[in-house]
Amino acid sequence: GDSVTQMEGPVTLSEEAFLTINCTYTATGYPSLFWYVQYPGEGLQLLLKATKADDKGSNKGFEATYRKETTSFHLEKGSVQVSDSAVYFCALSDSFSYGQNFVFGPGTRLSVLP
Amino acid sequence: SQTIHQWPATLVQPVGSPLSLECTVEGTSNPNLYWYRQAAGRGLQLLFYSVGIGQISSEVPQNLSASRPQDRQFILSSKKLLLSDSGFYLCAWGTGLLTDTQYFGPGTRLTVL
């Protein structure tokens, strides 16, 4: 079945450091790919998405490129801020018997220190 | 615009007591609805999904059940809570289109003592 693998962390960085969170996937079809962010005590918010190969999703300084050849969707940010501290989830959307099936990775906790 | 509500926000219940968590969606019709559980420090586990009124599918066998009495209402229930039912419960809705995101509610923190 479909699956998503991502580095579990925790990842601890200093403010203004470069961030990479790796995400790879396994899917039988042609999935759409997503990054979600979860702040403490809250639900998940969509950060960015890409729906086909070579698409780049971007939002709030975060970027991720859909790489079909390496089945990856790594999240990057050039300069992190303390406010970026959260848990980040990589996810894919694929077709299933009932329509859309979402599969989430385990999440990566990011802590940014001032 | 669409919004999704969950209540209560937090709940502390004794083992063996019943449970009812409610989720409602506004601003859309015929959504796909989902219940997830997130154990402490863990990822998301899909519990139930529904593509229409009265249509419920379960992903894992468990102590919980779900119902969809109205188009935009999704309820998670249990007759007798277990300690292992503690966690953060998230409701989500989606259009069902492969390229569309799922939209998550604020969650309910359940502690079973």
From chain A, pick out residues whose CB is under 8 angstroms from the CB of B97. Answer: 100
Nearest to A76 by CA among A65, A67, A63: A63
Distance from CA of B18 to the nearest CA of A (A): 24
Q: How many CB atoms sit inside 10 A of residue B85's CB?
A: 20
Q: Which amino acid is at B91?
A: C
pLDDT at B69: 95
pLDDT at B45: 87
Q: What angle do CA B38, B39, B45 make, to 5 degrees?
A: 45
Per-chain mean pLDDT for chain B: 91
Encode pLDDT of B47-104 as tens digits. Answer: 999 989 999 988 776 789 999 999 999 999 999 999 999 999 999 999 887 778 899 9
Instruction: For residue A98, name the pLDDT band (cuts at 50, 70, 90).
Output: low
Which residue in B57, B90, B101 is closest to A34 by CB distance? B101
Q: For residue A113, is pLDDT > 70? A: yes
Encode pLDDT of A52-96 as tens digits. Answer: 999 999 999 999 999 999 999 999 999 999 999 999 999 998 876
Residue B36 and residue B92 in contact, taking contact as beta carbons nearer than 8 Å: yes
Residue A103 and residue A4 in contact, taking contact as beta carbons nearer than 8 Å: yes
| Residue A53 in tokens | 């190969």
CA–CA distance, A101 with A28 (Å, rounded to integer): 12
From chain B, pick out residues whose CB is under 8 angstroms from the CB of A36. Answer: 104
pLDDT at B82: 94
Encode pLDDT of A5-44 as tens digits. Answer: 998 789 999 999 999 999 999 998 789 999 999 998 888 9
* 3-state SS, residue B9: coil
**C-alpha distance from residue B41 to each of A10, B81, B86 (Å):** 10, 21, 12
pLDDT at B60: 78
Which residue in A43, A100, A106 is closest to B98 by CB distance? A100
Task: Give the β-pairing of B108-112 and B10-13.
Answer: parallel
pLDDT at A29: 78
Q: How many CB atoms sit inside 10 A of residue A14's CB?
A: 10
Q: Indicate which of A36, A59, A102 best probes the interface with B, i.e. most B CBs within 10 Å of its own CB.
A: A102
Q: Indicate which of A100, A103, A109 best probes the interface with B, i.e. most B CBs within 10 Å of its own CB.
A: A100
CA–CA distance, B48 with B66 (Å, rounded to integer): 7
Per-chain mean pLDDT for chain A: 92
Instruction: Give the B-side interface with A, CB within 8 Å.
Output: 32, 34, 42-44, 46, 49, 51, 57, 90, 92, 94-107, 109
Binary contact (A102, B34; C-beta < 8 A): yes
